[in-house]
């Protein structure tokens, strides 16, 4: 094993009480801000371990573990196997989900399973440690207003031209400003295919460091653009009369997609672009605005 693997094996042993017999790198889900391992043991089922690779994500992992503790026992969570924090690179160990279904592609049954999980999450009283407001946590209004102040970066995306933007940006910004975000519903905060899987007809959501509270439909609305981009249903078929939320998400995703790439998460800007394009089409449909050519 490489040196980090040896160090991580020791961390995993401290977290679980069992020495790993092998560590297999896990790729394909999530950013390189964590080291991810499928962990084999001699005398117990395999597990999945996530080790913070940078200082700034160590606190994210601590928060995720705290949220797992606060929500323990709910069916939409994976089982937590172990935790160890050496003050440098904490490690979270959960059940191995490699045998689950990781969409896409999406079937209608898969979509329904996620919808059921979101209902179950929103039906869970938010525990005291989870009290961040969705709108504040994500700076969700950083969208149309910054773009209207200076559309230079957004125009480089090629989604719309200056003439279209000058004609419709004010209308989209006004719709976004009317979005209702406040509420006390428990929210996962980052529902996407790389943060969920399906097992035995049920959806299991991972990566709970963005858990927060807000209006009940926010998790659903924020998931729908990525779902449709991956071949799932059109957003308006699952959430009707949602022009303000669609406009809000379109502005947020597109403004952020035009920012500089994130070295530790190089895939994020493309994800934001893809979601922004879908959300903009959704907003235009709801508001009666001709989509950009």
- Which class would CATH give 108-287? alpha beta
| Nearest residue to 181 via CA among 252, 114, 236 | 252
Q: How far is 10 from 292, CA to CA, in rounded Å?
A: 54
User: What's the pLDDT tens digit per position in 168-226?
Assistant: 999 999 999 999 999 999 999 999 999 999 999 999 999 999 999 999 999 999 999 99
Q: Distance between terminal CA atoms of the chain?
A: 53
User: What's the pLDDT tens digit per position in 268-284?
Assistant: 999 999 999 999 999 99
Query: At residue 2, does pLDDT exceed 50?
Result: no
User: What's the pLDDT tens digit per position in 116-155?
Assistant: 999 999 999 999 999 999 988 888 888 999 999 999 999 9
Q: How far is 37 from 39, CA to CA, in rounded Å?
A: 6
| Nearest residue to 216 via CA among 257, 191, 180 | 180
Looking at CATH, the fold of the domain delimited by 3-95 is given as Phosphorylase Kinase; domain 1 (3.30.200)
Q: How far is 198 from 99, CA to CA, in rounded Å?
A: 9
pTM over 0.85: yes
Same fold, 3-95 and 108-287: no
How big is the CA angle at 286 (ends 282 and 292), to the nearest 5 degrees? 55
In the block, residue with structure tokens 């924020």: 222
Q: Domains of the chain: which residue ranges?
A: 3-95, 108-287
């Amino acid at each position: 094993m490489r040196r980090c693997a040896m160090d991580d094996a020791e961390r995993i042993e401290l977290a679980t009480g069992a020495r790993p017999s092998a560590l297999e790198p896990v790729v394909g889900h999530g950013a390189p801000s964590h080291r991810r391992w499928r962990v084999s043991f001699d005398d117990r089922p395999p597990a999945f371990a996530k080790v913070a690779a940078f200082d700034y994500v160590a606190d994210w992992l601590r928060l995720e573990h705290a949220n797992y503790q606060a929500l323990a026992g709910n069916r939409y969570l994976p089982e937590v196997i172990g935790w160890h924090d050496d003050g440098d690179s904490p490690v979270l160990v959960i059940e191995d989900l490699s045998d689950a279904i990781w969409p896409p592609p999406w079937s209608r049954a898969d979509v329904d399973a996620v919808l059921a999980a979101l209902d179950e999450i929103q039906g869970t009283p938010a525990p005291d440690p989870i009290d961040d407001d969705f709108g504040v946590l994500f700076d969700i209004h950083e969208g149309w207003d910054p773009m209207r102040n200076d559309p230079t970066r957004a125009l480089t995306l090629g989604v719309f031209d200056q003439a279209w933007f000058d004609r419709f940006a004010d209308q989209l910004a006004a719709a976004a400003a009317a979005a209702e975000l406040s509420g006390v519903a428990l929210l996962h905060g980052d529902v996407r295919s790389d943060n969920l899987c399906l097992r035995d007809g049920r959806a299991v959501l991972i990566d709970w460091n963005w858990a927060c509270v807000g209006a009940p439909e926010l998790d659903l609305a924020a998931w729908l653009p990525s779902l449709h981009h991956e071949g799932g249903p059109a957003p308006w078929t699952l959430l009707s009369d949602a022009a303000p939320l669609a406009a809000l998400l379109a502005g947020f995703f597109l403004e952020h997609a035009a920012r500089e790439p994130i070295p530790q998460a190089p895939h994020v800007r493309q994800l934001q672009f893809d979601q922004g394009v879908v959300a903009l089409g959704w907003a235009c449909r709801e508001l009666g605005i001709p989509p950009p050519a």
